[in-house]
Amino acid sequence: MARPEDSLAVLLGVSQLLYLATVLALGLRLSILASRNRQLPEILLAVHFVLCATVGYVLLGVGVPASYEPGMLSPEVMALLIGGGHLASSVGVFAGAAFNYFVFRRGKAWARGLLWLGGLTLSTGYIGYAMSGGFRDGRCEGIWFWLLYGTYTAAAAWVMTEPFAHYYGVMRKHLRLGLVEPLVANRFLLWGGGSVCRFIMLIMGGIPSIFFRHLSPAEWQALTSITLTFVALAGFGVSVTYWLTFFPTPAYKRFLQRRHESAGDEI
Amino acid sequence: MNHSEAFEWTCAELESKSLLNTLEVRGTVRLALKQAGLEPRHVTPEQMRVVLERIMPGELESRAVTDAESVCLSLVPGLSCLAAGTEVETPEDVFKRLSG
Protein backbone atom coordinates (compact mmCIF):
# COMPACT_ATOMS: atom_id res chain seq x y z
CA MET A 1 0.00 0.00 0.00
CA ALA A 2 1.37 3.41 -0.99
CA ARG A 3 2.46 5.66 1.87
CA PRO A 4 0.97 9.19 1.98
CA GLU A 5 4.39 10.74 1.35
CA ASP A 6 4.80 8.58 -1.77
CA SER A 7 1.42 9.73 -3.08
CA LEU A 8 2.40 13.33 -2.41
CA ALA A 9 5.72 12.83 -4.18
CA VAL A 10 3.93 11.47 -7.26
CA LEU A 11 1.35 14.28 -7.19
CA LEU A 12 4.07 16.88 -6.81
CA GLY A 13 6.25 15.29 -9.49
CA VAL A 14 3.45 15.20 -12.04
CA SER A 15 2.36 18.73 -11.15
CA GLN A 16 5.86 20.17 -11.41
CA LEU A 17 6.59 18.41 -14.69
CA LEU A 18 3.34 19.72 -16.12
CA TYR A 19 4.09 23.20 -14.77
CA LEU A 20 7.60 23.26 -16.23
CA ALA A 21 6.44 21.90 -19.58
CA THR A 22 3.74 24.59 -19.70
CA VAL A 23 5.91 27.56 -18.77
CA LEU A 24 8.71 26.37 -21.04
CA ALA A 25 6.26 26.07 -23.95
CA LEU A 26 4.87 29.53 -23.18
CA GLY A 27 8.37 30.99 -22.91
CA LEU A 28 9.34 29.56 -26.30
CA ARG A 29 6.02 30.55 -27.85
CA LEU A 30 6.35 34.14 -26.60
CA SER A 31 10.03 34.33 -27.61
CA ILE A 32 9.08 33.39 -31.17
CA LEU A 33 6.20 35.88 -31.14
CA ALA A 34 8.46 38.61 -29.71
CA SER A 35 11.18 37.97 -32.29
CA ARG A 36 8.57 38.41 -35.02
CA ASN A 37 6.64 41.46 -33.87
CA ARG A 38 9.25 43.18 -31.62
CA GLN A 39 6.52 44.35 -29.25
CA LEU A 40 7.61 45.25 -25.73
CA PRO A 41 4.87 43.33 -23.83
CA GLU A 42 5.72 40.11 -25.67
CA ILE A 43 9.46 40.60 -25.06
CA LEU A 44 8.91 41.24 -21.34
CA LEU A 45 6.61 38.28 -20.93
CA ALA A 46 8.99 35.99 -22.83
CA VAL A 47 11.85 37.08 -20.54
CA HIS A 48 9.62 36.52 -17.52
CA PHE A 49 8.61 33.00 -18.51
CA VAL A 50 12.05 31.87 -19.62
CA LEU A 51 14.09 33.36 -16.78
CA CYS A 52 11.79 33.44 -13.77
CA ALA A 53 9.25 30.70 -14.35
CA THR A 54 11.66 28.20 -15.94
CA VAL A 55 15.42 28.77 -15.42
CA GLY A 56 15.23 30.42 -12.00
CA TYR A 57 12.59 27.97 -10.80
CA VAL A 58 14.66 24.93 -11.77
CA LEU A 59 17.97 26.27 -10.37
CA LEU A 60 16.43 27.29 -7.05
CA GLY A 61 14.29 24.13 -6.98
CA VAL A 62 17.53 22.12 -6.97
CA GLY A 63 19.73 24.50 -5.00
CA VAL A 64 17.51 25.34 -2.04
CA PRO A 65 16.65 21.73 -1.07
CA ALA A 66 20.34 20.83 -1.49
CA SER A 67 21.18 23.51 1.07
CA TYR A 68 19.30 21.46 3.69
CA GLU A 69 22.07 18.85 3.46
CA PRO A 70 25.38 20.63 4.05
CA GLY A 71 28.20 19.06 2.03
CA MET A 72 25.86 17.47 -0.49
CA LEU A 73 27.07 19.85 -3.20
CA SER A 74 30.31 21.79 -3.41
CA PRO A 75 30.13 25.51 -2.48
CA GLU A 76 30.89 26.41 -6.09
CA VAL A 77 27.97 24.38 -7.41
CA MET A 78 25.72 25.75 -4.68
CA ALA A 79 26.75 29.29 -5.58
CA LEU A 80 26.00 28.58 -9.23
CA LEU A 81 22.57 27.15 -8.45
CA ILE A 82 21.49 29.70 -5.84
CA GLY A 83 23.20 32.74 -7.37
CA GLY A 84 22.15 31.84 -10.90
CA GLY A 85 18.64 30.99 -9.74
CA HIS A 86 18.15 34.28 -7.96
CA LEU A 87 19.68 36.23 -10.83
CA ALA A 88 17.34 34.62 -13.36
CA SER A 89 14.40 35.03 -10.99
CA SER A 90 15.18 38.68 -10.24
CA VAL A 91 15.48 39.66 -13.90
CA GLY A 92 12.37 37.63 -14.72
CA VAL A 93 10.36 39.10 -11.85
CA PHE A 94 11.31 42.62 -12.95
CA ALA A 95 10.26 41.78 -16.52
CA GLY A 96 6.93 40.48 -15.22
CA ALA A 97 6.34 43.63 -13.21
CA ALA A 98 7.35 45.75 -16.21
CA PHE A 99 4.82 43.83 -18.36
CA ASN A 100 2.18 44.64 -15.76
CA TYR A 101 3.14 48.32 -15.82
CA PHE A 102 3.25 48.70 -19.61
CA VAL A 103 0.03 46.79 -20.22
CA PHE A 104 -2.20 47.94 -17.34
CA ARG A 105 -0.77 51.12 -15.86
CA ARG A 106 1.37 52.77 -18.51
CA GLY A 107 2.06 56.41 -17.71
CA LYS A 108 0.82 56.23 -14.11
CA ALA A 109 3.42 57.83 -11.87
CA TRP A 110 2.71 55.59 -8.86
CA ALA A 111 3.05 52.45 -10.98
CA ARG A 112 6.30 53.67 -12.54
CA GLY A 113 7.58 54.43 -9.03
CA LEU A 114 6.54 50.96 -7.87
CA LEU A 115 8.36 49.38 -10.80
CA TRP A 116 11.61 51.23 -10.13
CA LEU A 117 11.33 50.57 -6.41
CA GLY A 118 11.00 46.89 -7.25
CA GLY A 119 14.09 47.09 -9.47
CA LEU A 120 16.01 48.75 -6.67
CA THR A 121 15.01 46.25 -4.00
CA LEU A 122 15.70 43.31 -6.32
CA SER A 123 19.20 44.50 -7.17
CA THR A 124 19.98 45.56 -3.59
CA GLY A 125 18.62 42.30 -2.18
CA TYR A 126 20.55 40.24 -4.73
CA ILE A 127 23.88 41.99 -4.10
CA GLY A 128 23.38 41.98 -0.32
CA TYR A 129 22.46 38.29 -0.30
CA ALA A 130 25.52 37.47 -2.40
CA MET A 131 27.89 39.53 -0.26
CA SER A 132 26.55 38.06 2.97
CA GLY A 133 27.28 34.52 1.76
CA GLY A 134 23.73 33.51 0.91
CA PHE A 135 24.74 31.91 -2.38
CA ARG A 136 27.08 29.48 -0.62
CA ASP A 137 24.73 28.22 2.09
CA GLY A 138 21.35 29.02 0.50
CA ARG A 139 19.96 30.10 3.84
CA CYS A 140 16.47 31.57 3.78
CA GLU A 141 16.94 34.20 6.44
CA GLY A 142 18.46 37.61 6.99
CA ILE A 143 17.47 41.04 5.76
CA TRP A 144 18.85 40.53 2.23
CA PHE A 145 16.96 37.29 1.70
CA TRP A 146 13.75 38.88 2.93
CA LEU A 147 14.26 41.89 0.71
CA LEU A 148 14.64 39.60 -2.30
CA TYR A 149 11.84 37.19 -1.40
CA GLY A 150 9.58 40.05 -0.31
CA THR A 151 10.01 41.72 -3.70
CA TYR A 152 9.26 38.47 -5.54
CA THR A 153 6.08 38.15 -3.48
CA ALA A 154 5.04 41.78 -3.90
CA ALA A 155 5.58 41.62 -7.67
CA ALA A 156 3.56 38.40 -7.88
CA ALA A 157 0.78 40.04 -5.87
CA TRP A 158 0.71 43.02 -8.24
CA VAL A 159 0.69 40.79 -11.32
CA MET A 160 -2.29 38.80 -10.01
CA THR A 161 -4.18 41.87 -8.84
CA GLU A 162 -4.35 43.90 -12.05
CA PRO A 163 -6.13 41.47 -14.37
CA PHE A 164 -8.20 39.77 -11.72
CA ALA A 165 -9.41 42.54 -9.47
CA HIS A 166 -9.21 45.53 -11.78
CA TYR A 167 -9.47 44.65 -15.44
CA TYR A 168 -11.92 41.77 -15.19
CA GLY A 169 -14.70 44.22 -14.31
CA VAL A 170 -13.82 46.46 -17.25
CA MET A 171 -13.92 43.44 -19.57
CA ARG A 172 -17.37 42.44 -18.38
CA LYS A 173 -18.63 45.92 -19.23
CA HIS A 174 -16.99 45.79 -22.66
CA LEU A 175 -18.38 42.33 -23.31
CA ARG A 176 -21.92 43.42 -22.52
CA LEU A 177 -21.61 46.09 -25.22
CA GLY A 178 -19.87 43.87 -27.74
CA LEU A 179 -16.64 45.89 -27.50
CA VAL A 180 -14.48 42.82 -26.95
CA GLU A 181 -14.55 39.18 -28.04
CA PRO A 182 -15.52 36.64 -25.35
CA LEU A 183 -12.23 34.79 -25.87
CA VAL A 184 -10.12 37.90 -25.26
CA ALA A 185 -12.21 38.95 -22.26
CA ASN A 186 -11.91 35.49 -20.76
CA ARG A 187 -8.12 35.59 -21.25
CA PHE A 188 -7.88 38.20 -18.46
CA LEU A 189 -9.72 35.89 -16.08
CA LEU A 190 -7.45 32.98 -16.96
CA TRP A 191 -4.31 35.08 -16.66
CA GLY A 192 -5.46 36.38 -13.28
CA GLY A 193 -6.41 32.90 -12.07
CA GLY A 194 -3.05 31.48 -13.16
CA SER A 195 -1.27 34.34 -11.43
CA VAL A 196 -3.15 33.61 -8.20
CA CYS A 197 -1.99 29.98 -8.43
CA ARG A 198 1.60 31.12 -9.00
CA PHE A 199 1.34 33.39 -6.00
CA ILE A 200 0.24 30.39 -3.92
CA MET A 201 3.18 28.37 -5.29
CA LEU A 202 5.60 31.14 -4.34
CA ILE A 203 4.27 31.54 -0.81
CA MET A 204 3.80 27.85 -0.07
CA GLY A 205 7.07 26.84 -1.73
CA GLY A 206 9.00 29.28 0.43
CA ILE A 207 7.48 28.36 3.79
CA PRO A 208 9.45 25.10 4.43
CA SER A 209 12.75 26.81 3.58
CA ILE A 210 11.99 29.66 5.94
CA PHE A 211 11.14 27.40 8.88
CA PHE A 212 13.76 24.71 8.17
CA ARG A 213 16.10 25.83 10.95
CA HIS A 214 13.35 26.62 13.45
CA LEU A 215 11.32 23.40 13.65
CA SER A 216 11.97 19.85 14.76
CA PRO A 217 12.37 17.31 11.91
CA ALA A 218 8.90 15.88 12.56
CA GLU A 219 7.27 19.30 12.62
CA TRP A 220 9.13 20.36 9.52
CA GLN A 221 8.09 17.16 7.73
CA ALA A 222 4.44 17.79 8.61
CA LEU A 223 4.64 21.40 7.47
CA THR A 224 6.34 20.40 4.23
CA SER A 225 3.61 17.85 3.45
CA ILE A 226 0.95 20.53 3.78
CA THR A 227 2.74 23.22 1.81
CA LEU A 228 3.82 20.86 -0.96
CA THR A 229 0.24 19.69 -1.39
CA PHE A 230 -0.71 23.31 -2.03
CA VAL A 231 2.25 23.71 -4.40
CA ALA A 232 1.20 20.60 -6.34
CA LEU A 233 -2.43 21.69 -6.66
CA ALA A 234 -1.45 25.25 -7.59
CA GLY A 235 0.97 23.85 -10.17
CA PHE A 236 -1.94 22.10 -11.90
CA GLY A 237 -3.91 25.33 -11.70
CA VAL A 238 -1.13 27.36 -13.31
CA SER A 239 -0.66 24.80 -16.08
CA VAL A 240 -4.32 24.65 -17.05
CA THR A 241 -5.10 28.38 -16.84
CA TYR A 242 -1.91 29.60 -18.53
CA TRP A 243 -2.23 26.99 -21.27
CA LEU A 244 -5.77 28.09 -22.04
CA THR A 245 -4.67 31.75 -21.92
CA PHE A 246 -2.10 31.28 -24.67
CA PHE A 247 -3.23 28.09 -26.43
CA PRO A 248 -7.03 27.99 -26.20
CA THR A 249 -8.32 24.73 -27.56
CA PRO A 250 -11.13 24.70 -30.16
CA ALA A 251 -13.42 23.05 -27.61
CA TYR A 252 -12.72 25.80 -25.07
CA LYS A 253 -13.39 28.49 -27.69
CA ARG A 254 -16.72 26.87 -28.53
CA PHE A 255 -17.58 26.60 -24.84
CA LEU A 256 -16.95 30.34 -24.33
CA GLN A 257 -18.93 31.29 -27.41
CA ARG A 258 -21.90 29.18 -26.32
CA ARG A 259 -21.74 30.63 -22.82
CA HIS A 260 -21.63 34.14 -24.17
CA GLU A 261 -24.56 33.57 -26.49
CA SER A 262 -26.69 32.02 -23.76
CA ALA A 263 -25.73 34.36 -20.91
CA GLY A 264 -25.07 37.54 -22.83
CA ASP A 265 -22.49 39.06 -20.56
CA GLU A 266 -20.88 36.13 -18.83
CA ILE A 267 -17.17 35.61 -19.40
CA MET B 1 -6.25 66.29 -18.87
CA ASN B 2 -6.35 65.52 -22.59
CA HIS B 3 -9.51 63.96 -23.87
CA SER B 4 -9.96 62.07 -27.10
CA GLU B 5 -11.35 63.76 -30.18
CA ALA B 6 -14.40 61.46 -30.04
CA PHE B 7 -15.18 62.63 -26.50
CA GLU B 8 -14.77 66.34 -27.27
CA TRP B 9 -16.75 66.14 -30.50
CA THR B 10 -19.61 64.20 -28.89
CA CYS B 11 -19.85 66.66 -25.99
CA ALA B 12 -19.92 69.65 -28.33
CA GLU B 13 -22.60 68.10 -30.53
CA LEU B 14 -24.76 67.02 -27.61
CA GLU B 15 -24.58 70.48 -26.11
CA SER B 16 -25.83 72.01 -29.34
CA LYS B 17 -28.66 69.49 -29.71
CA SER B 18 -29.95 69.44 -26.14
CA LEU B 19 -30.79 71.97 -23.46
CA LEU B 20 -27.97 70.76 -21.25
CA ASN B 21 -25.07 73.06 -20.49
CA THR B 22 -21.40 72.23 -20.98
CA LEU B 23 -20.84 70.80 -17.51
CA GLU B 24 -24.01 68.72 -17.61
CA VAL B 25 -23.16 67.29 -21.02
CA ARG B 26 -19.60 66.43 -20.12
CA GLY B 27 -20.68 64.86 -16.84
CA THR B 28 -23.34 62.81 -18.59
CA VAL B 29 -20.93 61.55 -21.23
CA ARG B 30 -18.38 60.71 -18.55
CA LEU B 31 -20.95 58.68 -16.63
CA ALA B 32 -21.97 56.82 -19.78
CA LEU B 33 -18.34 56.02 -20.55
CA LYS B 34 -17.80 54.79 -17.02
CA GLN B 35 -20.72 52.41 -17.40
CA ALA B 36 -19.04 51.05 -20.51
CA GLY B 37 -15.64 50.72 -18.82
CA LEU B 38 -14.12 53.40 -21.09
CA GLU B 39 -12.07 56.51 -20.41
CA PRO B 40 -12.56 59.98 -21.96
CA ARG B 41 -8.85 60.08 -22.78
CA HIS B 42 -8.81 56.95 -24.89
CA VAL B 43 -12.33 56.42 -26.20
CA THR B 44 -12.36 55.86 -29.96
CA PRO B 45 -15.11 56.93 -32.40
CA GLU B 46 -16.19 53.30 -32.77
CA GLN B 47 -16.48 52.84 -29.01
CA MET B 48 -18.34 56.15 -28.70
CA ARG B 49 -20.80 54.98 -31.37
CA VAL B 50 -21.65 51.95 -29.24
CA VAL B 51 -22.05 54.16 -26.17
CA LEU B 52 -24.35 56.52 -28.07
CA GLU B 53 -26.48 53.65 -29.30
CA ARG B 54 -26.65 51.59 -26.12
CA ILE B 55 -26.13 53.78 -23.05
CA MET B 56 -26.48 57.47 -23.81
CA PRO B 57 -30.23 57.49 -24.68
CA GLY B 58 -31.08 56.29 -21.18
CA GLU B 59 -28.74 58.79 -19.58
CA LEU B 60 -30.24 61.69 -21.55
CA GLU B 61 -33.81 60.59 -20.84
CA SER B 62 -33.06 60.57 -17.13
CA ARG B 63 -32.02 64.21 -17.56
CA ALA B 64 -35.32 65.09 -19.26
CA VAL B 65 -33.84 65.45 -22.74
CA THR B 66 -36.66 64.94 -25.21
CA ASP B 67 -36.30 62.47 -28.04
CA ALA B 68 -33.00 61.30 -26.57
CA GLU B 69 -32.61 58.30 -28.85
CA SER B 70 -32.95 60.38 -32.02
CA VAL B 71 -30.48 62.93 -30.68
CA CYS B 72 -27.94 60.19 -30.02
CA LEU B 73 -28.44 58.43 -33.33
CA SER B 74 -28.09 61.72 -35.20
CA LEU B 75 -24.50 61.92 -33.96
CA VAL B 76 -23.44 58.52 -35.26
CA PRO B 77 -22.78 59.50 -38.90
CA GLY B 78 -20.61 62.41 -37.76
CA LEU B 79 -18.56 60.15 -35.52
CA SER B 80 -17.60 57.98 -38.45
CA CYS B 81 -15.99 61.02 -40.08
CA LEU B 82 -13.57 61.40 -37.20
CA ALA B 83 -10.16 59.89 -37.57
CA ALA B 84 -9.59 56.76 -35.52
CA GLY B 85 -7.46 59.01 -33.34
CA THR B 86 -4.22 58.30 -31.61
CA GLU B 87 -4.54 54.62 -31.04
CA VAL B 88 -3.28 53.92 -27.55
CA GLU B 89 -2.49 50.27 -27.13
CA THR B 90 -5.00 48.83 -24.67
CA PRO B 91 -4.64 45.72 -22.51
CA GLU B 92 -7.18 44.08 -24.85
CA ASP B 93 -4.89 44.72 -27.84
CA VAL B 94 -1.99 43.05 -26.03
CA PHE B 95 -4.00 40.09 -24.77
CA LYS B 96 -5.54 39.62 -28.19
CA ARG B 97 -2.06 39.28 -29.73
CA LEU B 98 -0.71 36.93 -27.10
CA SER B 99 -2.30 33.78 -28.44
CA GLY B 100 -1.24 34.70 -31.96
Quickly list DSSP for B53-98.
Answer: HHTHHHHHHTTT-TTHHHHHHHHHHHHHTS-----PPPHHHHHHHH
C-alpha distance across the termini of chain B, in Å: 35
Segment A77-85 shows an average pLDDT of: 94
Segment A176-205 shows an average pLDDT of: 92
Closest-CA residue of A relative to B50 is A177
What are the phi and psi torsion angles at B39 (to 5°)? -115, 140
pLDDT (tens digit per residue) in A93-119:
999 999 999 999 998 999 999 999 999
Q: Which of A86-90, A165-169, A174-178, B12-16 reaches the highest mean pLDDT?
A: A86-90
Average pLDDT, chain A: 90
Segment B44-63 shows an average pLDDT of: 92
pLDDT value for A67: 84
Q: Which of A51-65, A90-104, B15-29 reaches the highest mean pLDDT?
A: A90-104
Closest-CA residue of B relative to A171 is B37
pLDDT (tens digit per residue) in B32-51:
999 999 999 889 899 999 99
Which residues 2-61 of chain A have a CB within 8 Å of chain B?
Answer: 29-30, 33, 37, 39, 41-42, 45
Segment A156-174 shows an average pLDDT of: 89
Residues A93, A151: contact at Cβ < 8 Å?
A: yes
- Of B62, B53, B87, B65, nearest to B15 by C-alpha is B65
A174–B98 C-beta distance less than 8 A: no
Query: Chain B contacts of A30, Cβ < 8 Å?
Result: 98
Segment A210-236 shows an average pLDDT of: 87
Q: From CA A121, how far away is CA A101, in angstroms rounded?
A: 17
Q: From CA B58, how far away is CA A80, in angstroms rounded?
A: 65
**ipTM of model over 0.90:** no
Segment A184-196 shows an average pLDDT of: 94
Segment B5-9 shows an average pLDDT of: 93
pLDDT value for A267: 43
